[in-house]
């Protein structure tokens, strides 16, 4: 994976410019595309708002509610937002400037053991002799974006083997438990609230966290990550080794014009986002 170097040093230089240079922040509002209201992406711009106000640099930060990473990229590309968060691969596809990795999220694929004949890894799902029904997340969500990109990397995971539904992991898990869906997919932090809710004692008899370990998934934008065998006691019950999956970097990116047209605002937002973001999203 290409490693991304934060621009914190540059930002700190900008923050200590003279009052005259601060006045160059001619745009009174800087827009940060967050995500759906109340979900994780929104936390960063909302945390940055009072910090930016405290700096007194002549601009305010506005959080723009969106459907997720896909819409964040589109809005920044169209100039409707100055900053955004999205999976690395999606930002690279649109060739937008990246400031750095804010946090890492990981692919989690939870399947009904009976319906998938005890599948332990994603390639086992190809041996079922039928299309596997997978809830891959809402349209525009990081989860669906990553699933679609993996299908591009390996066509075996396309529509001829999988029937995908744009349903969130939280809504899908009860349906997987009942056998109405085969699997539920999410891209999130290890031990996220949704995964903790799925990892309850009764789930060990029905559900299993399976490996997302296909070699074709390892490219410039994704690395593999190991979920320790003790992470989810119930979803990993009866499975005596670590679970290999995909590491999905979520990056801060920006509209090119803000860096040159409003360098004070750019430096302040970018620098602080990369400073506070990793702790904000720490698992």
Backbone angles phi, psi at 181, to 5 degrees: -120, 155
A 10 A CB-CB count for 67 gives 14
For residues 117 and 143, give the distance between their C-alpha atoms in angstroms, rounded to a whole number: 24
Question: What does the alpha-carbon distance between residue 115 and residue 111 come to, in Å, rounded to a whole number?
Answer: 8
Note the pLDDT tens digit of each residue in 140-159: 788 998 999 888 888 888 99
Fold match between 8-102+250-280 and 105-248?
yes
Strand, coil or helix: 109: strand
Name the CATH superfamily housing domain 8-102+250-280.
Periplasmic binding protein-like II (3.40.190.10)
Q: How many helices (H) and strands (E) does the chain have?
A: 10, 10
Q: pLDDT category, 13, cuts 50, 70, 90? A: very low
Range from 37-51, 66-80, 136-150, 157-171 carrying the lowest mean pLDDT: 136-150
Alpha carbons 258 and 264: distance in angstroms, whole number = 9
Query: What does the domain layout of the chain look like in residue ranges?
Result: 8-102+250-280, 105-248
User: Do the Cβ atoms of 87 and 249 come closer than 8 Å?
Assistant: yes
Mean pLDDT of the chain: 88
pLDDT of residue 25: 44
> Which pLDDT score is estimated for 281?
86
Q: How far apart are CA 60 and CA 104, in angstroms?
A: 28
The whole-model pTM stands at: 0.81
Q: What band does 218 get if pLDDT is binned at 50, 70 and 90?
A: low
Which burial class, exposed, middle or buried, applies to 118 when counting CB atoms under 10 A from its CB (0-12, 13-18, 19+)?
A: exposed
Find the mean pLDDT for residues 13-24: 43
List pLDDT tens digits, range 252-261.
Answer: 999 999 999 9
- Right CATH for 105-248 from 3.40.50.460, 2.40.37.10, 3.40.190.10, 3.30.1280.10: 3.40.190.10
């Amino acid at each position: 994976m290409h490693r991304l170097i934060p621009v914190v040093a540059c930002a700190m230089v900008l923050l200590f410019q003279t009052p005259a240079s601060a006045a160059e922040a001619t745009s009174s509002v800087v827009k940060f595309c967050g995500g759906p209201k109340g979900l994780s992406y929104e936390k960063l711009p909302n945390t940055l708002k009072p910090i930016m106000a405290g700096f007194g640099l002549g601009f305010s930060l506005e959080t723009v509610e969106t459907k997720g990473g896909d819409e964040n990229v589109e809005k920044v590309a169209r100039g409707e937002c100055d900053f955004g968060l999205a999976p690395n691969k999606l930002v690279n596809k649109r060739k937008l400037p990246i400031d750095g990795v804010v946090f890492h999220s990981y692919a989690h694929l939870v399947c009904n053991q009976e319906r998938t004949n005890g599948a332990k890894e994603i390639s086992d799902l190809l041996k079922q002799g039928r299309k596997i029904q997978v809830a891959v997340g809402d349209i525009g969500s990081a989860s669906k974006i990553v699933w679609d990109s993996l299908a591009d990397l390996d066509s075996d995971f396309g529509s001829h083997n999988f029937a995908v539904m744009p349903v969130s992991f939280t809504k899908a898990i009860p349906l997987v438990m009942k056998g109405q869906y085969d699997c539920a997919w999410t891209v999130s932090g290890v031990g996220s609230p949704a995964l903790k809710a799925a990892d309850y004692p009764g789930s060990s008899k029905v559900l299993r966290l399976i490996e997302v370990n296909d070699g074709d998934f390892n490219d410039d934008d994704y690395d593999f990550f190991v979920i320790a065998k003790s992470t989810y006691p119930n979803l990993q019950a009866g499975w005596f080794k670590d679970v290999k999956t995909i590491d999905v970097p979520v990056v801060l990116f920006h509209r090119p014009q803000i860096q040159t047209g409003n360098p004070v605002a750019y430096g302040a937002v970018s620098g602080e986002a990369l400073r506070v973001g990793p702790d904000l999203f720490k698992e």
